[in-house]
Structure 1
């Protein structure tokens, strides 16, 4: 995962694309709580007025808020009833060294768009570092199963095309919540699609050909994607979770572009 300032630490768990070290199989998973289900505001007693006034400071351009909130709630239910049960089964059935190796392989492939975007942003030092990671992990790490570059002082540098557009001065546009994927913006959602096409075009080590020939690997990719993200819907235990997540995600992206 990326390293960022304390204000954005909570949002670190949201980056689906993304990429945190997975939780141990014995780790507790917070119980799901729908933050909006039991919200009952009594206007006469001015309940939640402090929270509401505080949220004015968290204002984010969100003209699609009604649709976004519905997608957010859909994502939360999908996560609770489908995604997390599958991930728990994966953790139960797969030894940790195997899970680590799977994550390392997919991380190695993600260095392809990382390299391209570092070059486009003029971060040539990071480009050289990512190139070295690709070479060391692909050759000595056996196609990325082992992250030997990390031990050599070459941590992964996450750069995406949404960040590249931001560096070029493209504004984020309206906030959007993408089905299954979560918080984003018009700029970052477009950037995600460009990264996907670029990775498909490069087809590093013929990985896309392999995954298309063996469709089950796409399922493994999706499981590993969620396995590496510790965020849990309802963990904030607040009726204003949507607003808080929206604000933190937006500030995180601003930081990632400015660094």
Structure 2
């Protein structure tokens, strides 16, 4: 299910954006870079280095995500937070986090990180049994730390460049490498789910599966503090693009945190 949780990287972006400008009280798409400015004025700055040949399309998608977030996604998330007790929210998050260990495990194997894969498998088994399907997280108290992995990181680990920057619908900032990784992770998740087919005996297996997936999206967005066009910075698009790119390069091991 972590294939549907790429939006989690926006937590990091939100923190950095909040430091770059005070949040505005009114949400507006006018927070974009003023027409009198051009990115060419900042060629000596690192945030101008990210390859973005489809910038016009990416900006349109960025605006679409803003409207989708404001008028559909965030109201649903707000309703979920309002009617669901905090204790239950935490149990739901634990359940999806535990499912995500399957993705972490497979990508640790793809990267030939045997000890990490064993640790992740231990987390999954422990939290699935003692933790009652991941509703609780005893594995962490046992010293089995979570290692977040995805196929985009795996591609980067083996030397694949990030490729051009992309803004995906709903998922947000990405790249050609990470978008490809998302497809692979989603296929693996779907394959595992289909093989297990936990609701195959039910007449409503499709509806149940769709509900679980939808709740997973809601739970993911519930954890993100990022809000489009609320940074108060006129260069928000470029900053989000840069910070996402840098974060992913560090996570995939292609760039050191000391650079």
TM-score normalised according to structure 1 size: 0.80
Contact kept in structure 2, 1:75 and 1:182, CA below 8 Å: yes
SS in 2 for 1:176: strand
Structure 2 residue aligned with 1:71, among 38, 57, 61? Answer: 61
Task: Give the Å deviation of 1:207.
Answer: 5.3
Task: Give the Å deviation of 1:37.
Answer: 5.5
Task: Give the Å deviation of 1:240.
Answer: 0.8
Contact kept in structure 1, 2:33 and 2:235, CA below 8 Å: no
Aligned CA distance change for structure 1 residues 206 and 147 (closer, same or farther; 3 Å): farther
Q: Where does the alignment leave 5 or more consecutive residues of structure 2 unmatched? A: 12-22
1:153 equivalent to 2:143? Answer: yes
Q: Distance in 2 between matches of 1:184 and 1:32?
A: 27
Q: Distance in 1 between matches of 2:57 and 2:10?
A: 27
Residue aligning to 1:212: 206
Residue aligning to 2:121: 131
1:107 equivalent to 2:102? Answer: no
SS in 1 for 2:7: coil
Contact kept in structure 2, 1:108 and 1:144, CA below 8 Å: yes
Cα RMSD (Å): 2.8
Contact kept in structure 2, 1:76 and 1:233, CA below 8 Å: yes
Task: Give the Å deviation of 1:49.
Answer: 8.2
Task: Give the Å deviation of 1:147.
Answer: 1.4
Q: Deviations over 1:151-199 (max 9, x none)?
A: 2222321110011111111111111000011000011101011001111
Contact kept in structure 2, 1:32 and 1:232, CA below 8 Å: no
Q: Distance in 2 between matches of 1:122 and 1:138?
A: 24
Aligned CA distance change for structure 1 residues 55 and 100 (closer, same or farther; 3 Å): farther
TM-score normalised according to structure 2 size: 0.80
Task: Give the Å deviation of 1:219.
Answer: 2.1
1:34 equivalent to 2:28? Answer: yes
Task: Give the Å deviation of 1:18.
Answer: 5.7
Q: Deviations over 1:24-73 (max 9, x none)?
A: xxxxx9755235358655x5xxxx68995377431210000000000001
SS in 1 for 2:221: helix
Residue aligning to 1:172: 162
For residues 86-125 of structure 1, the aligned pairs below 5 Å read 86-125=76-115
